[in-house]
A and B are shown apart, each in its own frame.
Chain A
Amino acid sequence: VQAEGTDGNCVTFVLHDEDHTLGNSLRYMVMKNPDVEFCGYCITHPSESKINFRIQTRGTLPAVEPFRKGLNDLMGVCQHVLNTFEVRLFLRSS
């Protein structure tokens, strides 16, 4: 992970060894945050597996916060999906 940007509000994270799998889902979770003014990701070159993930926040919130919140929210979603799926399988087999 590397971060470059002008001030704390607009940061471009470079995530290595990642692609659309994490990029798109994380972009969706960060966009759902009302403090975020802009969020996008791009794959710099298809031969290299790294993505540029940019977050710009409204106001003076440091951009690391929506990134962290997005990751936590995505973990929460996955955990809930896993629990619901396993409960459903268990109920079905019993």
Chain B
Amino acid sequence: PLAAAAMAAKMGTDEMRDRVVLGEFGVRNVHTTDFPGNYPGYEDAWDQRRFEEEFRVDVIREEEGALEFDLVGIDAAIANAFRRILLAEVPTMAVEKVFVYNNTSIVQDEILAHRLGLVPIRADPRLFEYRNQGDEEGTEIDTLQFQLKIKCTRNPQAAKESSDPNELYFNHKVYSKHMTWVPLGNQTDLFPEADFRPVHDDILIALLRPGQEIDVLMHCVKGIGKDHAKFSPVATASYRLLPDITLLQPIEDEAAEMLQKCFSPGVIEIQNIKGKKVARVANARLDTFSREVFRHEGLKNLVRLARVRNHYIFSVESTGILPPDVLVSEAIKILMGKCQRFLNELDSVPME
């Protein structure tokens, strides 16, 4: 009994250390508490070797513009740092200055410029530099020039009574495919193979009618999402913790059926053992934790809903400028760059 009590106590602290428990009315054990000195008997000081042994990365799904991967064995602070950097500090190229030569459409100049800025440009930002502060002209190493020159005219061959604009007019829809790259200086030599254009050709920018035209020149520069959201390279980057569902007692028959309905499909499966239906947790990862279990009096004390504290399921969707695996690598390098910057400052400035 003493050993059993000791083991129960240890399991209690283990639960406190590495699970975030979802209770009926709130979430418990949210903060990381495994710092040296908090738990007697646990070795909590930072040990790079132990971290490397326990850490792993699993790539779950890799699609055209989206990547789902797991980081296991890392803490919330660092996982969140990666997420924040993916959203706001990985640089991209986007239209910053729009020189309007002629705009007789009904879209105002500033609205047109705003829309053009949000169009993602397929240009690897690592090939370019940041523009210097106060530099108005822009040089070949930091600027990409695009031109959008389009005029809408009436179609003389259209039928008399038709009211379909596609038939009546030419060029009445301005798409992003009409943006053409104008090489600056020696850019044709620097990038002989490159084909700089917007990522998607079918982004509708403006609508025109006969007689209206748009003639603008655009300068793209390198920037980060912190400055303006148009520079963010991800459609979204998010993470969630791995769910962990434990059945505290065996659940059978109708209770098992009800339990299966409480969770997302595929989480709970019902097995037929000796004629009785018994519920079993099949795949906790699929669950979205709607907490439906807590609405049923009979079931709510038989299940423990928790999340594993150091298992992060990341989902990164790119806008198409860079593939998502490159984005994650760049984000990690940016965090390293930040640390290096402060280390250099520490070494160079004498501390008094």
Chain A contact residues, CB within 8 Å of chain B: 1, 3, 15, 18, 20-22, 24-29, 31-34, 64, 67-68, 71-82, 84-86, 88-89, 92
Q: Is the CB of B343 within 8 A of A71?
A: yes
Complex CA distance for A22 and B75, rounded to whole angstroms: 14
Residue of A nearest to B46 (CB): A32
B99 contacts chain A at the CB level, 8 A cutoff: no
B56 contacts chain A at the CB level, 8 A cutoff: yes
Q: Is the CB of A82 within 8 A of B332?
A: yes
Q: Is the CB of B75 within 8 A of A28?
A: yes
CB neighbours (8 Å) of B57 from chain A are 81, 84-85, 88
For the complex with contacts A21-B84, A22-B81, A92-B62, 20 further pairs of A-B residues with Cβ separation under 8 Å are A3-B351, A21-B80, A24-B81, A25-B81, A28-B32, A29-B46, A31-B35, A32-B35, A33-B45, A33-B46, A71-B343, A73-B46, A75-B340, A77-B48, A78-B333, A78-B336, A78-B339, A81-B71, A82-B332, A85-B328
With A78-B335, A78-B339, A81-B332 in contact, is A89–B59 under 8 Å at CB?
yes
Q: Is the CB of B59 within 8 A of A74?
A: no
CB neighbours (8 Å) of B56 from chain A are 84
B44 contacts chain A at the CB level, 8 A cutoff: yes
CB neighbours (8 Å) of B71 from chain A are 81
**Most chain B beta carbons < 10 A, residue from A1, A68, A76, A77:** A77
CB neighbours (8 Å) of A27 from chain B are 77
CB neighbours (8 Å) of B39 from chain A are none
CB distance from B90 to the nearest CB of A (A): 12
B58 contacts chain A at the CB level, 8 A cutoff: yes
B52 contacts chain A at the CB level, 8 A cutoff: yes
Q: Is the CB of A71 within 8 A of B77?
A: no
CB distance from B217 to the nearest CB of A (A): 32
Complex CA distance for A6 and B71, rounded to whole angstroms: 41
Interface string of B329-351 (1 = CB under 8 A from A): 10011011011101101100101
B140 contacts chain A at the CB level, 8 A cutoff: no
CB distance from B120 to the nearest CB of A (A): 23
CB distance from B52 to the nearest CB of A (A): 6
Residue of B nearest to A64 (CB): B351
Q: Is the CB of A89 within 8 A of B325?
A: yes
Residue of B nearest to A79 (CB): B336
Q: Is the CB of A77 within 8 A of B346?
A: no
